[in-house]
């Protein structure tokens, strides 16, 4: 038995002395928020690391996504995926638009681009794909469809921090990409989020939106909200960015360990690295075929919990099946997503997880077959 429970994620914390040193200048300036020096430094550092022209920071990824939808004037219908976190769907609804759910691919769990055009109507204004688990969407095909129909493309890249394809940062795709900097993500600012984009005119719009629509200090020229990232969060981001490559490498090594144990087991499907893509190893999803494996996903989930190992059915249920939307979106419209949601389990994965614990987790997964 492990001396303490193992959870599916555990926030990375840098050496305390590094963070304290980063905070010293805050005590000197008394600048705690409102796009202070740390905010500005992190903005520049992230633009460089993510290889994107523009970055705008927010209090969290959800508000960043709402900012993108509302600032880009998205209305009517938005084509998206139900295989995602609640935030993706709720940001659409909270912005006054209607989600239209597209099914996903069976191998990478992202929006199936070949189904998008059949969902476009005269009310469609945008496509909102999700790089689920850091797996990249078919951005070229999605952009081709968007251009043909005059649609905006806003990516939910909450899982895809640091991911590149052929050396190009994932934040370069579409009109805007949203990243989450929540404490459990590969990179975090405790709470936080950001938008990446090429149109520098959006920088002023996003800055106003996160400060009650104020372009100056008094009058509000638009309707916005309070979505500012504090200097303390930005300071954590600056420190964590120094450790990000080591963090991703630690996750990669643990992922390889999991694959050594599980990848060749009949009835289990694990992702694979794709040539040309720098993965960030944000999650370790395993999809179970209960007939071939001999046990269901939920059987394994219970056994893990009995051993103080807390995996997660990520994502279950589909967002389209949330009780708040009861009766509105039949699961039969997205059968692949429904099937994956019933069979997927994300196993613990984070920098600092001992390799020996990965071995133990896999023993529990494979026991009782």
Q: Where are the domains of the chain?
A: 16-239, 244-366
Spatial distance between the Cα atoms of 286 and 358, rounded to a whole number of angstroms: 14
Tokens coding 264: 């060749």
Flag whether the pTM goes above 0.85. yes
Give the up-direction half-sphere exposure of residue 33: CA atoms within 13 A in the CB hemisphere.
11
Residues with Cβ < 8 Å from 39, sequence gap 6 or more? 33, 57, 229, 231, 234
| In this structure, CATH architecture of domain 16-239 | 3-Layer(aba) Sandwich (3.40)
DSSP alpha helix (H) spans, the chain: 16-29, 37-50, 61-71, 86-94, 139-149, 201-209, 231-262, 290-293, 297-306, 335-341, 355-366
Nearest to 255 by CA among 275, 276, 274, 270: 270
In a structure prediction context, what are the per-residue pLDDT tens digits for the chain, which is 369 residues long?
446 899 999 999 999 999 999 999 999 999 999 999 999 999 999 999 999 999 999 999 999 999 999 999 999 999 999 999 999 999 999 999 999 999 999 999 999 999 999 999 999 999 999 999 999 999 999 999 999 999 999 999 999 999 999 999 999 999 999 999 999 999 999 999 999 999 999 999 999 999 999 998 889 999 999 999 999 999 999 999 999 999 999 999 999 999 999 999 999 999 899 999 999 999 999 999 999 999 999 999 999 999 999 999 999 999 999 999 999 999 999 999 999 999 999 999 999 999 999 999 999 999 977
Q: Are 213 and 220 in contact (CB under 8 A)?
A: yes
Interacting residues of 295 by C-beta distance below 8 A, sequence separation 6+: 288, 368, 369
Question: Could you count the other beta carbons within 10 Å of the beta carbon of residue 166?
Answer: 8
**Does domain 244-366 sit in CATH 3.90.1150.10?**
yes
Is 58 within 8 Å of 194 (Cβ atoms)? yes
């Amino acid at each position: 038995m492990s001396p303490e429970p193992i959870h599916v994620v555990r926030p990375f914390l840098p050496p305390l002395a590094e963070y304290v040193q980063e905070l010293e200048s805050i005590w000197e300036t008394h600048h705690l928020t409102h796009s202070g020096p740390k905010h500005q430094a992190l903005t520049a550092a992230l633009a460089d690391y993510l290889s994107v022209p523009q970055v705008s920071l927010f209090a969290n990824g959800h508000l960043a996504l709402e900012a993108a939808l509302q600032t880009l004037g998205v209305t009517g219908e938005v084509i998206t995926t139900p295989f995602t976190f609640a935030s993706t769907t709720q940001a659409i609804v909270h912005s006054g638009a209607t989600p239209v759910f597209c099914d996903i691919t069976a191998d990478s769990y992202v929006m199936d681009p070949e189904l998008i055009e059949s969902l476009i109507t005269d009310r469609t204004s945008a496509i909102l794909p999700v790089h689920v688990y850091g797996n990249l969407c078919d951005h070229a095909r999605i952009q081709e469809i968007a251009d043909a129909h005059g649609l905006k493309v806003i990516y939910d890249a909450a899982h895809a921090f640091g991911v590149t394809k052929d050396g190009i940062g994932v934040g370069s795709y579409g009109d805007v990409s949203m990243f989450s900097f929540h404490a459990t993500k590969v990179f975090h600012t405790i709470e936080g989020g950001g938008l990446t984009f090429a149109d520098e005119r959006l920088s002023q719009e996003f800055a106003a939106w996160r400060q009650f629509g104020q372009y100056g200090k008094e009058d509000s020229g638009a309707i916005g909200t309070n979505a500012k990232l504090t200097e303390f969060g930005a300071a954590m981001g600056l420190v964590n960015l120094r450790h990000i490559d080591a963090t991703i490498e630690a996750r990669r090594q643990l992922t390889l360990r999991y694959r050594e144990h599980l990848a060749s087991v009949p009835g289990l499907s694990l992702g694979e690295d794709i040539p040309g893509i720098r993965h960030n190893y944000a999650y370790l999803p395993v999809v179970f075929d209960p007939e071939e494996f001999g046990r269901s996903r939920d059987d394994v989930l219970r056994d893990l919990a009995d051993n103080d190992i807390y995996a997660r059915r990520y994502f279950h249920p589909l967002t389209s099946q949330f009780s708040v939307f009861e009766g509105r979106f039949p699961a039969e419209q997205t059968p692949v997503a429904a099937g994956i949601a019933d069979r997927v389990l994300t196993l613990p994965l984070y920098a600092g997880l001992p390799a020996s614990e990965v071995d133990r987790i896999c023993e529990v997964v494979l026991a009782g077959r």
